[in-house]
Homo-oligomer: A and B are copies of this chain.
Amino acid sequence: MRISMKKLEEFGAAFLIKRGVPEGNARHVSKVVVETEAFLQSTHGLAQFTALAAALGKTIDPEGEPEIVRGKGAVVLIDGSRCMGNLAVKLAKKEAAEMARAQGIGFVAVRNTHWIGALGPHLISIAEEGLLCQVWAQSSTCKDCAPFGGVDACFSTNPIALAFPGDGHPVVADFSTATMSMSAATALKKKGARTATPRFLDRAGEPSDDPSVLDRGGSMMFMGGDEEGHKGYALALFNEALTVLAGGSANNPDTDLYQSFSLMVLDPEAFAGADYYAKEMRRFLAHVKSSRARPGFGAVRLPGERGFQALEECRVRGVPLDGEKCSMLRKLATDHELDFEELGTIPASGNRVDPVVLRGGGGDG
């Protein structure tokens, strides 16, 4: 089953408005959520609606707006003030890009916000404007990962993302400093699946390929696992340090759950210039893509390449939804007296596009 992006965005906005979110914010957040789903980051896409449904009016203030605490030179500090995470991201992006244009770089640190979902999709519009960027994120109370060499978990899966202008679409990468995100581990657990090599530690600190150890006092290993986990550990520590820089809470079981993140944006014009950048990047990416593919890999891809292909397909054919996602949306609709069936669908196969669904510009909103 496929549903147009436009319809999903409208549904999400309607749900958020019912929960007290002002219309402009509701529309923005819903658009980000749907684009994330379309960009193939489905563990962090529509799932945000469920997380928002649980938190709005409790840990999230529906009318909460991020506040600039202070700014100096090329940096800004933002307090999320219990706002929806995507609103804090929107403000951070605006501030960081403006500073980058004026100062060569902009760095924004944000504390006390709610889940910001997948990091990568947030960066697309920055890189499309010709800027380079990196983001580091952390959550305050999660007990996902143990320090390298340790048994007791005291880290969230602290993700990183980066994006930069490419040849055509930007290059966009987004990953956890743990062996996988907790959402991905939960999805594996539901299927009863195991990983090809150990990515977890059981409660005694022994490597395991079974995600269900997470429910029995186990933990996630850091990126690189048993042999290279010190690298993921180091990267995760830096995310914690940036949270501390921002005045947020580094991992602490005794505090409230908040997310902190930092965003760096760089402007090539302040360095060797956008023209040099475009020309040399084009040459380099062609050089990378000319590498022959390994057996079992169809082609050498750049990070984000499949995401952009999927996003473009979703803009024409709608977003594919499995039974679980449909149930989730139906429940959200019922709970908020919205009509899910009214959304309309595009057949999952066939090239014929439902004209009703494409009304309004192909679902791009």
> Measuring CB to CB, which residues of chain A are less than 8 angstroms from any residue of chain B?
70, 72-75, 77, 99, 102-105, 107, 109, 111, 132, 134, 146-154, 162, 164, 171, 173, 175, 179, 195-197, 199, 201, 204-206, 223-225, 227-228, 230-231, 233-235, 237-238, 240-242, 244-247, 249-252, 264, 266, 268, 270-273, 276-277, 280-281, 283-284, 287-295, 297, 299-303
Contact = CB atoms under 8 A, between A and B. Distances in A.
16 contacts: A74-B105, A75-B271, A105-B264, A132-B245, A150-B288, A162-B238, A164-B238, A173-B231, A173-B235, A173-B238, A197-B197, A205-B293, A233-B303, A242-B266, A244-B284, A245-B268
Please report whether the interface of chain A is mostly helix, strand, loop or mixed according to DSSP: mixed
A250 B284 contact: yes
A111 B196 CA distance: 41
A146 B75 contact: no
A280 B152 contact: no
A293 B147 CA distance: 9
A225 B197 CA distance: 11
A133 to B, nearest CB: 10
B107 A104 contact: yes
Identical chains bound together, number? 2
A291 B227 contact: no
A245 to B, nearest CB: 5
Nearest to A151: B292
A105 B75 contact: yes
Contacts of A271: 70, 75, 77, 109, 245-247
A223 B227 contact: no
B152 A270 contact: no
A223 B230 contact: no
Contact of A171 (B103, B237, B249, B266): B237
Contacts of A241: 132, 164, 171, 281
Contact of A294 (B151, B227, B295): B151
Contacts of A151: 291-294
Contacts of A292: 150-152, 205
A95 B146 CA distance: 37
A237 B303 contact: yes
Given A146-B294, A205-B294, A247-B271, 12 more contacts: A73-B99, A107-B266, A147-B291, A164-B238, A195-B227, A206-B295, A225-B228, A237-B288, A237-B302, A244-B277, A245-B266, A252-B283
Nearest to A207: B294
Contacts of A195: 227
A223 to B, nearest CB: 6
A275 to B, nearest CB: 11
B175 A230 contact: yes
A244 to B, nearest CB: 5
Contact of A75 (B72, B104, B201, B242): B104
5 closest A-B pairs by CB: A73-B103, A247-B272, A75-B104, A173-B234, A150-B291
B223 A228 contact: yes
Contacts of A295: 204-206
B287 A154 contact: yes
B297 A149 contact: yes
Contacts of A251: 284, 287-288
